[in-house]
């Protein structure tokens, strides 16, 4: 493809060489550059692609796309300058892969909590309707039944458009994807054609990146200026803001505490085996059963319902798809000990997520609630004491431990969380080693107790400084169960 064709409708300046050349592919990682590549220099959080331009040329790059002047590049190499390479690579990738999101229906799900569960529930409904479905998100990416490893919630724009292209090649009808606030701010989804945008909620998280809740809110809002139909949680504090400040052609609302919602859930019932409720839509009431308990699970189901109703899927099929879903790995995943207590492994790593899970557990616990949790390093520090207070107020005992410390001192993180627990009457202890922390909670459990191991959910690793080690909360629990004696 001609470089000047790729750059159609893009404002750019040729600093060196000519744009009348053929490009074999586009890359932003110099290690993946091959003969004839266009190498895009992206300024990242830790790495600046401009520093790798020479390496890209050595590996065969024919042209460089930059947003800063660079020197020392062979005069035969074309250098093109734009104001924002992140923004431009999204447009180039979409054009290079022949606009793949035009060729299927695309549902984007955004919000602080519930994105993963909502996408999987939506997938279940679409498949019950006979559609070959793609899924993109935190746990994994899927093309039909094929599972692909996910490296981030929403891929970089070039990787995303390539994934879309592969989905088109495999005859996917519908794609449902998690759309993170980072991806919206960093232009990863700029070139996507969304049919439906789903909004779950907005609570304290990611302020290390967004700095303020207003910035975080406005990042989420961007999705609803990119889609035809907005599906909005009317119970959320930011619902009216999302509706009033976006440009969707139409909206479908859902809620539990607001009977003005298009989808209104009532008569919620919970136990460890799941949730049941009734939902009213356009004057008809439907009874729904879910494999995962909790009010938050009902919200996720309503969000999935709304997204699928926007695609004109019949309510009877939606009910079938929801009830076929048997739960999601690392999302309120339950394990029963032969000693009579139960363990919940959940991804809750933000204040509202932790609060929702603990409130749900209170609805059916017979004994004590014992909570094992921590907070990630190199992330929003403001939520650490907040999560500590939430855990302390809603648990009978807390074990504060590590959760991906990254480059921070694990003990310092634990102490910041501990400050919040101290303000409650909850008994607790600190165990920096996560394996020992989980074992501590399991060893004290008695019949009827319910243990929550929060923060990592589906993750099978721990990040300790520059080392990634294998660690899976569910594996630890099951391994401990094997050693138990009645």
Q: Which of 62, 98, 77, 90 is nearest to 17 (CA)?
A: 77
Annotated binding-site residue? 410:
no
Annotated binding-site residue? 95:
no
Q: Which of 149, 148, 4 is nearest to 65 (CA)?
A: 4
Q: Which of 306, 380, 296, 254 is nearest to 114 (CA)?
A: 296
Which residue is listed with tokens 């002047």? 69
Question: What burial letters (b/e) apply to 110-144, b meaning 16+ CB within 10 Å?
Answer: bbbbbbbbbbbbbbbbbbbbebbbbbbbbbebbbe
Annotated binding-site residue? 138:
no
What the block records as the tokens of 45 is: 């959080």
Annotated binding-site residue? 459:
yes
CA distance 161 to 336: 42
Annotated binding-site residue? 30:
yes
Annotated binding-site residue? 200:
no
Query: Strand (E) positions, 200-303?
Result: 227-233, 250-255, 263-271, 274-281, 284-290
Annotated binding-site residue? 154:
yes
CA angle 361, 366, 370 (to 5 degrees): 55
Residue 276: φ, ψ to 5°: -135, 150
Annotated binding-site residue? 31:
no
DSSP, res 156: -
Query: How is 71-107 classified by DSSP, letter by letter?
Result: -S--TTSEEEE-S-HHHHHHHHHHHHTT-GGGSSEEE
CA distance 387 to 254: 27
Residue 70: φ, ψ to 5°: -125, 150
Annotated binding-site residue? 113:
yes
Counting runs of H as helices and runs of E as strands, what totals does the chain give?
Answer: 16, 24
Annotated binding-site residue? 153:
yes
Pairing of strands 146-149, 13-16: unpaired
CA distance 87 to 355: 37
- Whether the Cβ atoms of residue 374 and residue 401 lie closer than 8 Å to each other: yes
Annotated binding-site residue? 258:
no
Annotated binding-site residue? 404:
yes
β-pair partners for 287: 278
Annotated binding-site residue? 117:
yes
Annotated binding-site residue? 8:
no
Estimate to the nearest angstrom the gap between the alpha carbon of 434 and the chain centroid: 23
Q: Which of 389, 297, 300, 399 is nearest to 343 (CA)?
A: 399
Residue ranges for the binding site? 30, 111-117, 153-154, 180, 188, 379, 403-406, 455, 459
Residues flagged as binding site for meso-2,6-diaminopimelate: 379, 403-406, 455, 459
């Amino acid at each position: 493809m001609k470089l000047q064709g790729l750059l159609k409708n893009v404002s750019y300046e040729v600093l060196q060489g000519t744009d009348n050349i053929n490009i074999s592919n586009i890359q932003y990682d110099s290690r993946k550059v091959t003969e004839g590549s266009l190498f895009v220099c992206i300024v990242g959080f830790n790495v600046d692609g401009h520093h790798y331009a020479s390496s890209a040329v050595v590996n065969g790059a024919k042209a460089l796309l930059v947003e800063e002047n660079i020197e020392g590049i062979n005069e035969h190499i074309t250098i093109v300058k734009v104001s924002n390479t992140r923004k431009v690579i999204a447009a180039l990738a979409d054009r290079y892969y022949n606009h793949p999101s035009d060729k299927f229906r695309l549902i984007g799900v955004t919000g602080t909590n519930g994105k993963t569960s909502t996408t999987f529930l939506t997938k279940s409904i679409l498949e019950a309707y006979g559609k070959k479905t793609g899924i993109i998100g935190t746990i994994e990416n899927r093309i039909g039944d094929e599972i692909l490893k996910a490296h981030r919630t929403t891929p970089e724009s070039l990787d995303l458009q390539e994934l879309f292209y592969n989905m088109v090649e495999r005859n996917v009808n519908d794609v449902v994807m998690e759309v993170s606030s980072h991806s919206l701010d960093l232009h990863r989804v700029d070139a996507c054609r969304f049919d439906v945008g789903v909004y779950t909620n907005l609570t304290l998280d990611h302020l290390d990146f967004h700095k303020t809740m207003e910035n975080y809110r406005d990042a989420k809002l961007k999705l609803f200026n990119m889609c035809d139909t907005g599906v909005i949680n009317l119970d959320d504090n930011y619902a009216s803001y999302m509706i009033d400040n976006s440009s969707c052609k139409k909206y479908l609302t859902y809620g539990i505490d607001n009977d003005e919602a298009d989808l209104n859930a009532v008569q919620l019932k919970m136990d460890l085996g799941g949730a049941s409720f009734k939902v009213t839509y356009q004057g008809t009431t439907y009874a729904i059963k879910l494999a995962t308990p909790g009010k938050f699970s009902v919200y996720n189901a309503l969000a999935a319902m709304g997204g699928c109703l926007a695609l004109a899927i019949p309510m009877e099929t939606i009910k079938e798809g929801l009830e076929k879903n048997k739960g999601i790995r690392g999302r309120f995943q339950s394990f029963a000990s032969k000693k009579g207590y139960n363990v919940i492994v959940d991804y809750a790593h933000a204040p509202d997520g932790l609060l929702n899970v603990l409130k749900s557990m209170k609805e059916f616990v017979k004994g004590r609630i014992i909570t094992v949790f921590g907070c990630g390093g190199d992330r929003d520090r403001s939520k650490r004491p907040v999560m500590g207070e939430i855990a302390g107020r809603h648990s009978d005992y807390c074990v504060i431990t590590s959760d991906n410390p990254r480059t921070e001192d694990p003990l310092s993180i634990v102490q910041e969380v501990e400050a919040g627990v101290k303000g409650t009457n909850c008994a607790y202890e600190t165990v920096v080693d996560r394996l020992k922390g989980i074992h501590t909670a399991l060893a004290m459990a008695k019949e009827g107790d319910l243990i929550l191991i929060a923060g990592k959910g589906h993750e099978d690793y721990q990040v300790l400084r520059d080392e990634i080690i294998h660690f899976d909360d569910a594996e630890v629990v099951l391994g401990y169960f094997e050693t138990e004696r009645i």
